[in-house]
Chains A and B, each alone.
Chain A
């Protein structure tokens, strides 16, 4: 076992780092879909917008003020985009998911082409902020400092979101809306406001994830589709509308994408969707629900 751990420690750590990033990305998608029953296919393009923003605002070798400014700006822009999407899907709320999917897909295509026009089609790499660019030794293994910090950020956010969801009245309201939207409305709460807030926060998190992910994934056309599919898989595996489910799903996918690929590199292409298929067969409602 120690020998095995010695070989795969870096892959395990990396699974945590990717899982953290996926959690920040996917939690918003899970809540919006779970509670509001709105399928937001523009979620991935928000991530790409964040990544391009990091490159445009902070540059290839960002300073701390630049990186933090990019994060703040991403939160504001993401939040505003979330509000816009929420209002846009409002009128489609009583129609089928296909209509919502078409609307958000259209929005995603327009924004993606806009990003491509604004920032070009080149691949943009962003370095971590100063002090985080190097590597640290973890049990004798070199591991990039930035990814370690990302693990910490993801864990903190996971704790914060689960506290908010489980210990505050806002969280109770959100959970109640996930469980039974009509009943919440009947109790005199304007559930559309809850939807607006959750949509805005979820989208802001996706855009922030783009900035945080930029030093790892970079920014390039097509990244939006890739991360959209990853986050949809996270949501399916974790179960809908649950913060804990999203966290669990993100960690599982993080390990599959990292440790799984290291152990079974010949099957790397099939692992992600193989795992998805397995979960759908064994636990069709998600592993946590």
Chain B
């Protein structure tokens, strides 16, 4: 007979083993793309293919494939070979994926990265290899801006860029102060809240309270929602994405706050597939982001039409960011003298304004987009939930 005490110790060991589940790397890679004569460029596309970010990876890969399909499989005048690697959901899987592309596959350019921790982990690696990396999502400020190295460019956004614009807007409203602010307790959450607080408080807004929820360990937001309610706030600003965004928005409505305290957020709260899952609970939520499927410009219309035609799905901001990565590479490769990071970086400096992007015209500033930020509101059109564009809040560069 094994004693109870002994088995308890084993159980604790197993608890540790279960915790290790989260960090087991899952690596898989595949080769695709076209082959042909003439000049060639080999692109490593690093996007999540498994784990919690997999839906984003799907959106990104689709946009990449679509761009190439519509442009004869060429970037500049070069035939493109794309090697795809799985970023996974953490640096434990993402950084080795980048390393593999650089060392084993000898790619010329890296494109992708959802996770900021992976992008920061890969920073020195691309610098050493002198290869260009175009980040198509990861929003940490330190990837570009003041702390940049010449090899990392970004076609997405920075966390504080999106939230600081909302801070200014809500402060101007007057009716949205005092505001309660919340985000997950990790780097991106902190950057979002810091960016918001600065412009909101500078604009005369008051903070009713602030909380950071345990990241990835919170299924039930009721305790925090209770905090918003008892704080006396007139508005709430938050940032969540993925599963957390769905849970938070649904519970915010279930506990009756959606009708009492209007919810504002960074646009990722209601972007892409999460909006379908949130459904009615998301109606009326206002967010800031650099894209919406509802933007009324010819580039966006033809992009959405092509995307829907090929995939029977609606593109997201993640698709647009990757689409634009192909678009800037196309411009840079047309003028670049060689495929090393220094030549390509130099060519990117000269691309000027990207005037055919679905998000509207934008340009590089500190290697990150200087772009229009839109105020969006969730509405129901027929059976679909969409982020309608309320207004254009102006052009903003990276906040550092």
Q: Is A225 an interface residue (CB 8 A)?
A: yes
CA distance A211 to B247 in the complex (A): 16
**Contact B254–A265 (Cβ < 8 Å):** no
Alpha-carbon distance between A125 and B16 when the two chains are bound, in angstroms: 29
Say whether, besides A123-B243, A123-B277, A101 and B5 are in contact (CB < 8 Å).
no
Instruction: Assess whether B381 is interfacial by the CB under 8 Å rule.
Output: no
Overall SS of chain B's interface: helix
Contact partner of A41 (CB less than 8 A), chosen from B1, B14, B247, B274, is B14
* CB atoms of A240 and B11 under 8 A apart: yes
- Interface status of A11 (Cβ within 8 A of chain B): yes
A184–B8 Cα gap in the complex (Å)? 22
Is there an interface contact between B227 and A123, defined as CB atoms closer than 8 Å?
no
- Whether the Cβ atoms of B8 and A228 lie closer than 8 Å is no
Instruction: Give the complex CA separation of A283 and B222 in angstroms.
Output: 30
B19 within 8 A of A: yes
Question: Could you tell me the distance between the alpha carbons of A181 and B224 in the complex, rounded to whole angstroms?
Answer: 46
Q: Interface size on A (CB < 8 Å)?
A: 66
Question: Which of A74-82, A83-91, A166-174, A215-223 interfaces with chain B?
Answer: A215-223
A232 with B273, Cβ < 8 A, contacts A217-B219, A261-B224, A265-B223 known: no
The listed residue (A11, A105, A221) touching B226 by CB distance below 8 A is: A11
When the two chains form their complex, are residues B2 and A37 in contact, meaning their CB atoms are under 8 A apart?
yes
Query: Is the CB of B51 closer than 8 A to any CB of chain A?
Result: yes
Select which of B12, B13, B246, B255 is within 8 A of A123 by beta carbon: B246
- Chain A 108-120: CB-based contact to B (< 8 A → 1; otherwise 0): 1100010010001
Task: List A contacts of B105 (CB < 8 A).
Answer: none
| CB pair B222 A221 closer than 8 Å | no
Instruction: Please indicate the chain B residues that have their CB under 8 angstroms from the CB of A144 in the complex.
Output: 254-255
- Cβ of A10 within 8 Å of any chain B Cβ, yes or no, is yes
User: Given A116-B50, A142-B255, are A232 and B15 neighbors across the interface (CB < 8 Å)?
Assistant: yes
Chain B contacts for A44, CB-based, 8 A: 18
Q: Is the CB of B223 within 8 A of A259?
A: yes
B8 to A284, Cβ gap below 8 A?
yes
Residues of B within 8 A of A257 (CB): 220, 223
Residues of A within 8 A of B243 (CB): 123, 218, 220, 222-223
Within the complex, what minimum Cβ distance (angstroms) separates B222 from chain A? 5
- Is residue B146 contacting chain A, with contact meaning CB distance below 8 A? no
Interface flag for A160 (CB, 8 Å): no
- CB-CB nearest in chain A for B281: A125
Partner of B51, one of A11, A33, A222, A265: A222
Say yes or no: A33-B18 contact (C-beta < 8 A), given A123-B243, A217-B247.
Answer: no
A228's partner among B11, B18, B216, B227 (CB-CB below 8 A) is B18
Contacts of A280 in B (CB 8 A): 12
> In the complex the two chains form, is B51's CB within 8 Å of A226's CB?
no
B21 within 8 A of A: yes
With A60-B279, A236-B11, A268-B213: A258-B54 Cβ-Cβ less than 8 Å: no
Cα distance A98–B12 in the bound complex, in angstroms: 12
Please state if A8 and B14 are interface contacts (CB–CB under 8 Å): no
Given A123-B277, A142-B256, is A225 in contact with B50 using a C-beta cutoff of 8 Å? no
Interface presence of A235 (CB below 8 A) = yes
Chain A residues, Cβ within 8 Å of B8: 236, 240, 284-286
Task: Enumerate 27 A-B pairs (CB-CB under 8 Å) in ascending A order.
Answer: A10-B255, A11-B223, A14-B222, A41-B17, A44-B18, A60-B279, A97-B14, A101-B13, A101-B14, A116-B50, A123-B277, A124-B277, A143-B255, A216-B219, A217-B220, A218-B247, A220-B242, A221-B51, A221-B52, A221-B54, A226-B217, A236-B12, A236-B15, A240-B7, A265-B227, A269-B185, A280-B12
> Apart from A14-B220, A226-B217, A268-B211, what are 10 other A-B pairs with CB-CB below 8 Å?
A14-B223, A44-B18, A60-B277, A101-B13, A121-B55, A222-B243, A232-B11, A260-B223, A269-B214, A280-B12
Lowest 3 CB-CB distances: which A-B pairs, in order? A121-B54, A262-B223, A261-B223
